[in-house]
Chains A and B, each alone.
Chain A
């Protein structure tokens, strides 16, 4: 990308900010959150949180991320702006897209008010794309809150749409933008989402942690620590052509950056956020916040919440040295209709886009040390041309 082109785009940004500010003054940015009076989606001061209620405010826009080999990628994505006052939403949300988006963790049965504000794609001022949140796998969804734009509505730039969910079933889901899904998902509008069961906090089947994947009734899905593991891939050609305002290569789409939680190895094991991307000497927003470093003490049960939002490929994930017990798939416990436990032990799981698995690693008797979680589709152990990277992370048993 040429510096002059970027500078001209930044000039257009200023125009866009002015334009979007007009719609802002019309009050189209609005967080709907019961008990919240100042519109920031949080309960502060005299505001009272109704029981069993959760509010989330996401911005949808664009930004940049850095691949493990240093390649800068233009992205679309979500950022968490819960707690930001309406008048500050645009400047907080613009060019702040995260990849993956903010992880959402909710309790079973909570009344969730998720507000999505479209802050526009400031680096592509020629675009007027709406955005949405598709709660992928949500049971008995209604179209109005499903985020699939053809059968419902999506939100335009400078405005907000509040989704409502009752989150009736625990398990590992995912969320993504469904507007022009091939483009917006390849561009990075993907994130982890899971629902914890009502059984949490009770001791069932001798589960000392009192944490479970599902309402299993027997403690068989007990775990001590959990980690979201979301698989995806980027086609750098698609992203590079996007920021260059070129026709997009849908037919030729071929991912060359396989990732876990938006990073290739060794960035996956960085326990904190990756450094903010630097665009033409300017430091952008911190955009890759989800580490895939897995650590536990020997004896603990480690829950991997594995999901895939890859837009092209299937991926097989394997753990070397620790058996993988699959207890759930697509947010459902593995049980027969007569209640028989159908969980199984394996050395790999294979996922296409839109599939999830709950996998427990029982580290009892596992020697302390470093173990690897990686794709056995070995060509995906790369960051584009750079080998020894890609879809891999480490499990530290202390």
Chain B
């Protein structure tokens, strides 16, 4: 069957249009969220959309009077902040929040629950406070009937920025330096549970027969993961996930297991270096010296991992810009070596790869199937011939890489391939303005 990646919505075109209109250089890409130290969250119900057209009842944390959202707002605070979270409850059941990895969390008001104080149903409130002592990536979720309420969507991310270089480092140390940062909050869903809750059948609810058929990054299934953030067509799923970078830049992945299953998350393109787990650098005392290189990282429920990804294209054995003596004699000498005029912004490519010819002849157009993210050329920043109706989702002819769950069952949306826990990394040619969708 033909691999047609049908976009149910014109989200991609909107994204590209928005980027062309609003795109501009920024020092770094910050993660979408709300900043503290005081947050007013409201637990509410609402319906999310899945990419193949499904619609499911969820419970989630809203920002104040805003809409229920899945996942809850990403709470961004600074190291040392006294964080206050005022939770009010518009659901018909009690609800609460726990903050794994934070010490000395106090709760004021509400009623006593098993794990923490709870905001009673239908208008109850409770206030949590803690000092965000350590920088890092954390999660928060309901501590009330969590086997049901986390599945229903009551979870989110908490980011504590370090005192030192908060905008460009995850942990203050230079080993956690990044140019761009992205959240990868992974979760999954069994629609039967949501249908049962929607029908009012909550007691008892057998969650042990759990069998997920949807998989999410930041609350969206692919291809919606790659739509624009705050898309009005996805009012309850404001967060997207489309990482962008230039060669040689560093991308910080803040990965969180937000559901109940393990997910092997694979970065095409290169290894990533896991520098921290659960909000602590992998360190014997000197930076992230115990960091682990991985091409696939298991993201564990309730746990977080931070990784640095970079890509230079080194040792490809050919010039990734397609420069040779034949095509660019100013850049490449007759002996196949780079000249002093070789473009300065493309020097992140190793000297041994520069000016080396592409090693093979690609098949004729009639013999290949073009991907919708293929530029028509093997070279970074070059556009080649693509037959009408093919390609088209790579306007700057970047190098694109799928980042996805390598449990390949999880890149589907309820029997529809492709979808689920999948997005594309854009590596754009030097000088190309990165989109910030």
Q: 8 Å CB contacts to A: which residues of B205-221?
A: 213
Chain B interface, number of residues (Cβ within 8 angstroms): 69
The answer for the CA separation of A93 and B134 in the assembled complex, in Å, is 58
A148 with B401: CB separation less than 8 A: yes
The answer for the CA separation of A314 and B213 in the assembled complex, in Å, is 17
Known: A182-B409, A251-B415, A352-B407. A330 touches B371 (CB 8 A): no
Residues of A near B289 (CB, < 8 A) are 336-338, 340
Residues of A near B2 (CB, < 8 A) are 128
Interface size class, chain A: 35 or more
B362 with A337: CB separation less than 8 A: no
Contact with A along B405-437 (1 / 0, CB 8 A): 011110110111110000010000000000000
> A164 within 8 Å of B by Cβ?
yes
- Of the candidates A136, A140, A251, A340, the one having the most CB atoms from chain B within 10 angstroms of its own CB is A140
**Stretch binding the partner chain, chosen from B63-71, B105-113, B292-300, B331-339:** B292-300
Contact with A along B250-281 (1 / 0, CB 8 A): 00000000000011101011110000000000
The answer for the CA separation of A111 and B360 in the assembled complex, in Å, is 12
Contact with B along A129-168 (1 / 0, CB 8 A): 1100000110111111010111111111011111110101
A352 with B1: CB separation less than 8 A: no
Q: 8 Å CB contacts to B: which residues of A178-235?
A: 179-183, 185-186
Report the minimal beta-carbon distance from B70 to chain A, rounded to whole angstroms.
Answer: 20
A151 with B368: CB separation less than 8 A: no
Known: A156-B369, A338-B289, A352-B262. A330 touches B294 (CB 8 A): yes
Residues of A near B424 (CB, < 8 A) are 150-151
Closest to B282 in A: A336
Residues of A near B417 (CB, < 8 A) are 180, 182-183, 250
The answer for the CA separation of A26 and B349 in the assembled complex, in Å, is 38
Residues of A near B35 (CB, < 8 A) are none
Residues of A near B284 (CB, < 8 A) are 336, 340
Residues of B near A155 (CB, < 8 A) are 363, 367-369
Report the minimal beta-carbon distance from B28 to chain A, rounded to whole angstroms.
Answer: 23
> A127 within 8 Å of B by Cβ?
yes
> A311 within 8 Å of B by Cβ?
yes
Closest to B404 in A: A181
> B315 within 8 Å of A by Cβ?
yes
Closest to B406 in A: A354
The answer for the CA separation of A330 and B372 in the assembled complex, in Å, is 29
Report the minimal beta-carbon distance from A22 to chain B, rounded to whole angstroms.
Answer: 12
The answer for the CA separation of A331 and B293 in the assembled complex, in Å, is 9
The answer for the CA separation of A368 and B36 in the assembled complex, in Å, is 64
Report the minimal beta-carbon distance from A177 to chain B, rounded to whole angstroms.
Answer: 11
Residues of A near B290 (CB, < 8 A) are 336, 342
Residues of B near A249 (CB, < 8 A) are 415
- Of the candidates B291, B370, B424, the one having the most CB atoms from chain A within 10 angstroms of its own CB is B370
Known: A152-B371, A182-B412. A168 touches B407 (CB 8 A): no
Closest to B399 in A: A143
Q: Per a CB cutoff under 8 Å, which of B263, B298, B369, B371 touches A151?
A: B371
> B364 within 8 Å of A by Cβ?
yes
> B128 within 8 Å of A by Cβ?
no
> B374 within 8 Å of A by Cβ?
yes
The answer for the CA separation of A337 and B173 in the assembled complex, in Å, is 14
A139 with B270: CB separation less than 8 A: yes
Residues of B near A353 (CB, < 8 A) are 264, 296, 406-408
> A76 within 8 Å of B by Cβ?
no
Closest to A333 in B: B293
A residues near B (Cβ < 8 Å) are 28, 32, 111, 113, 127-130, 136-137, 139-144, 146, 148-156, 158-164, 166, 168, 179-183, 185-186, 247-251, 253, 310-314, 329-332, 334, 336-338, 340, 342, 350-355
What are 6 sample pairs from A and B whose C-beta atoms fall under 8 A apart? A153-B370, A159-B367, A168-B314, A338-B289, A352-B407, A354-B264
The 7 lowest CB-CB distance pairs between A and B, nearest first, are A352-B264, A354-B406, A159-B367, A151-B400, A144-B378, A332-B293, A354-B296
Q: A154-B369, A338-B286 are in contact. List 10 more A-B contacts (CB 8 A).
A: A140-B270, A140-B312, A140-B316, A148-B268, A148-B402, A151-B402, A182-B411, A183-B417, A186-B408, A336-B290
